[in-house]
Amino acid sequence: MSTTPEAVRPIELTEIRQARERIAQTIVRTPLVRLELGPGYPDIRLKLENLQPINAYKLRGAANAVAMLPEADRNRGVWTISAGNAGQGVAYAARKAGVPCTVVVIETAPASKRERMKALGAKLVPVPYEVAWKALDDRAFPGVEGTFVHPFDDHNFIAGHATMGLEILEDAPDVAAVITAIGGGGLITGVGTAVKALKPGIQVWAAEPETAAPLARSLAMGSPQPFAEWKASFVDGAGGQSVFPRMWQRMRPVVDGCIVVTLEETKRAMRLMAEKARVISEGAGALPLAAALTGKAGQGPIVAVVSGGNIDLAKFCELVGSAAS
């Protein structure tokens, strides 16, 4: 059954602060660490969301969204659509609430993400990427029951992500730019909303892989655009086939630009974090560092959000091993 979304409206700072209190016992207040690169490099700090209980930032939004559902809706059980991280977040929050969870999961999602969702009690319904992307727009999928929790186009989900912005400003009050990966746009909308509300001069940049860069095209064209050349890659948690019009409404006021990086640059960023900070990042989590290293976001201080670390270890070793040092 399709659900009609509420009208898009700005997220207020009071809502973000209330979300912070609401999810405080569920999420980790993740550290912000300086990446020591030496002279000639931008000043980069890493916001380590890979250290959340599900190893990804999505727990922030999921915990807030599930907690704010009316009791009757929550008791029906919940379902979402995911490449892995949002599914884990909703499954984790659903388990805590004692309700069933179903995840319509993209069939190419890494095995580690699928196993983690199942371990959290989620029922998985694997589908091709194109089917999942359409279901995100439709907000419906045949045969799946329960209350739908959209993995990015949801006011309360985004307010949960925005709590990260409060932490960033507390730990790096001198920050000049923040970079996040973008898939659907919930992360950058949340973080951008929080930091712009408190310090409007901070630049908020999106990072996309060259194989899936609809936001960069949309910004260039001035309207939400599809990306027909989309290709699957190891950067499974970012990029997309299009920018949803509702998310364009949300992002446009808080996003200053988009930096597109190559897959090779992304692999090098994964390797650099492992070598310099002993951080294991999935592909999407490394996009902001790769973007920061291009110099397009300035010399800093730059906060690069490491959005997740859910990657099969064998795949991680293969990718960093093949990256140029």
Q: What is the mean pLDDT of residues 282-309?
A: 96
Q: Place 1 in a pLDDT band, splitting at 50, 70 and 90.
A: very low
Residue 3, pLDDT score: 64
Q: Place 134 in a pLDDT band, splitting at 50, 70 and 90.
A: confident
Taking the C-alpha atoms of residue 309 and residue 325, their distance in angstroms, rounded to an integer, is 20
| pLDDT per position as a tens digit, 7-32 | 999 999 999 999 999 999 999 999 99
Residue 126's alpha-carbon distances to 82, 93, 217, in angstroms, are: 10, 21, 29
Taking the C-alpha atoms of residue 18 and residue 324, their distance in angstroms, rounded to an integer, is 44
Q: What is the mean pLDDT of residues 170-178?
A: 98
Residue 258, pLDDT score: 97
Write down all domains in the chain, each with its CATH number in brackets: 14-56+158-322 (3.40.50.1100), 59-148 (3.40.50.1100)
Q: What is the mean pLDDT of residues 194-201?
A: 97
Q: Place 247 in a pLDDT band, splitting at 50, 70 and 90.
A: very high
Residue 133, pLDDT score: 83
CB-hemisphere CA count at 13 Å for 245? Answer: 3
| pLDDT per position as a tens digit, 140-172 | 899 898 999 988 899 999 999 999 999 999 999
Contacts by residues 241-245 (CB-CB < 8 Å, ≥ 24 positions apart) = 241/129, 241/130, 241/133, 241/212, 241/214, 242/133, 242/214, 243/185, 243/214, 243/215, 243/218, 244/136, 244/137, 244/153, 244/184, 244/185
Taking the C-alpha atoms of residue 41 and residue 253, their distance in angstroms, rounded to an integer, is 29
Residue 325, pLDDT score: 66
CB 125 within 8 A of CB 141: yes
DSSP result, 137-182: HHT--TT--SEE--SSS-HHHHHHHHHHHHHHHHH-TT--EEEEE-
Mean pLDDT of the chain: 93
Residue 75, pLDDT score: 87
Would the pLDDT of 324 be above 80? no
> Does 156 or 137 have the greater pLDDT score?
156
CB 311 within 8 A of CB 274: no
> Does 97 or 43 have the greater pLDDT score?
43
